[in-house]
Amino acid sequence: IHAYNLSGTRTVCTAEVIGPGSYVFEPPGNTDWWRITGEEEMTALVGVMGAVEFLRPGGVVTARADAASQLRAYRAWCAEHGVRELDRAE
């Protein structure tokens, strides 16, 4: 995972505060958490190679996201809101 903060701040599990212009690399197998901190909305550009698994205590996988699942979610959102998909040729 490659994440670049565009605006706002988030605090990661190491107590490091990630602000606008900050870059974070998460290697394969990394387990972490973060939360949005501060008053401003946080926007990040995130590139994921592979899948992200969301865990609950005990390491139980509660959800998994990858390129295919995110594309399905995007297409469903567009259909629900009557918006043309930007990745489709006319």
CA angle 42, 11, 70 (to 5 degrees): 50
**pTM for the full model?**
0.71
List pLDDT tens digits, range 62-83: 999 999 999 999 999 999 999 9
CA angle 25, 30, 31 (to 5 degrees): 120
Is pLDDT above 90 for 29? Answer: no
Dist CA 82 CA 76 (whole Å): 10
